Chains A and B, each alone.
Chain A
Amino acid sequence: MKKKITIDPVTRVEGHGRVTIHLDEYGKVEDSFFHIVEFRGFERFIQGHPYWEAPVLVQRLCGICPVSHHLAAAKAIDQLVGVDPKDLSPAAFKLRKLMHYGQIFQSHALHFYYLTSPDLLFGMDAPVEKRNVLAVAVENKELARKGILMRKFGQEIIQAIAGKKIHGVAAVPGGVHKTFDPKEREYFLSGKDIPNIKTMIEWSLEIIEFIKGYHEKNRLLLDTFAAFPSGHLGMVDDFGNMELYHGKLRAIDSIGNITLPDVSTDDYQKYFLEGVERWSYMKFPYLKEIGREKGWNRVGPLARINICNAIPTPLAEKERQAFVSFTGKKVNNSTLYSHWARLIEILHCAEVMNDLLHDDEIMSDDLVREGKPRLEGIGIIEAPRGTLTHHYQVDEKGMITRCNLIVSTTHNNEAMNQAVKWVANNVISQKGAITDGMLNQVEVAIRAYDPCLSCATQALGQMPLKLELYNHIGELIDERFKSN
């Protein structure tokens, strides 16, 4: 019998998600789909705007990662004015990098402390009223307090460079428009006004110890929950080390064979295609040479750690080595390890910010370079959730004629579908009805990749997550609906 249950409040996934699960006549899961059914279409409406507006306009794709969109667009716009990444002034490069690492630091802090930690602290079956950061604030004050202050640190780095924590403006074509001043630097280094960068490094190490402890007690869960083979994609520097601002694209398959051998970001079109499905507005990018079925890749922290040879900061590299030792240096294909990988990246970002804050060049006024204008620009960056591509073409007056965005969530589309399928097959199959705990496990699987679905389709606002169960003749037999 059809029944409808409403769950209130919605928790910790932003964007419009719908999951449908189809059962056979024995109640076994036949298939499942993770749908993104909201559409906004930035790629289209940005056409006709002058190119220099792009880094400002595209930030509105997202309230969590606007800096990533701002900088990916800025890198593309640099090329339109004839400035490649190597041609940026050292100061502009370092200021952009500082803002970018501040962005990843704050976004990862939000992802882990605000959105993920309730699942780890209270369990996936905990009552819904406990599965939020307010409950964390009551039961683990130190963790909540440090999470808030870490996010604040990253946001204030962004604010110092871009003027605002959200939707500020730092990059201009060929550089940045503002330098750091000594007073601003002192603010982040001294520890007088806010916990300083050294404290951020200490707290990053502490939270890695927390997840190691969790791993020790819950290794089977981490190893098995939504574990499935996949490709992994990310950016590396010239030495194959992790690089988040500018590098080359590398992909590997589920056992570590190279499937994309450190290629220039400018050539991404040679290697990638995007598939579409009638049941989702979100596309499915894949490597052309391997094909739609097997050529898709996970992106984000787990993928980045899987593909890189090393992390170029000492403390994070030590943690990476500990992380990979658990799989005997084999590729890690287990979804929940994304959180551990994310925390290693938090530490890496803190170390990079520390280096940059001690670099006098961030106070230089050599901020903008010029070159010979071009009609096409490509900017690829590692955003918190993974590889982010912005690609623009302009006419001779500088008006945008074509825009292609491949956001991190889109790369993870197939992985999120696979993760949902895993929960459907292993948690929901042959159970007959959907419980709240089951629904949360679907969310846990999605959330490990992305807590925010909005930018993948550029959806407006917060939308519900809906889970539907169909029987073998296509009748809806149960549904759960999470709304605000």
Chain B
Amino acid sequence: MNDLSQIKKTLLIGIGNNGRSDDALGWKFLDEFSGREDLYDFEYRYQLQIEDSELVSRYETVIFVDASHEKLEKGFSFYTCLPAPTSAFTTHQLAPETVLWLTGELFDAPPKGYVMAISGIEWKLHFGLSNQAKKNFKNAIAYFKKEESSIV
């Protein structure tokens, strides 16, 4: 439950599962910013759900952070997320683009959206990142911290 009377400007949503090796990247990214509650609110999620469209409507900026199966050039990719309906979804998970689209349809103008995708390698039942994912994570954090003031 967020204290909505003191809502922050930016919402960081980490998507993943820390019991599934590199799928922990999204959550770990949020951990890195703990102590920065003055600037961020944090949501740790296994998946995005329909109700998140209402939650993000309360923010100016939302950043979705997730592990990616893709081998990304720098080990990560940070890009603008534009609202878009996607037809293939279950009740259990939505794409970030769809969450923003639903926000626009049902609640308010959607916030500024970004996706931070970080390449993962291992997805087995295991606590802890693979060595390659650790490197990718480090690069993603370094990039984000450098660009942070222009993003949020």
Contacts and interface: CB of A to CB of B under 8 A. Distances in A.
A284 B80 CA distance: 51
Contact of A193 (B5, B90, B107): B5
Interface in B88-110: 88-92, 98, 101-102, 105-107
A132 B94 CA distance: 13
A129 B92 contact: no
B87 A134 contact: yes
A141 B106 contact: yes
Nearest to A188: B1
15 contacts: A9-B87, A9-B88, A14-B92, A132-B87, A137-B106, A138-B105, A148-B54, A159-B1, A184-B1, A187-B1, A192-B4, A193-B5, A194-B4, A451-B91, A484-B88
A10 B5 CA distance: 40
* Chain B interface residue bracket vs A: 20 to 34
Contacts of A8: 88
* Chain A interface residue bracket vs B: 35 or more
Nearest to B90: A462
B46 interface: yes
A133 B1 contact: no
A156 B1 contact: yes
B81 interface: no
A118 to B, nearest CB: 12
A14 B98 contact: no
A44 interface: no
B50 interface: yes
Given A137-B102, A160-B1, A184-B1, 14 more contacts: A9-B89, A14-B91, A110-B91, A132-B87, A134-B101, A138-B105, A145-B106, A148-B50, A148-B54, A151-B50, A152-B54, A152-B55, A159-B1, A192-B4
A110 B49 CA distance: 11
B128 interface: no
Contact of A115 (B54, B91, B105): B91
Contacts of B102: 134, 137
B53 interface: yes
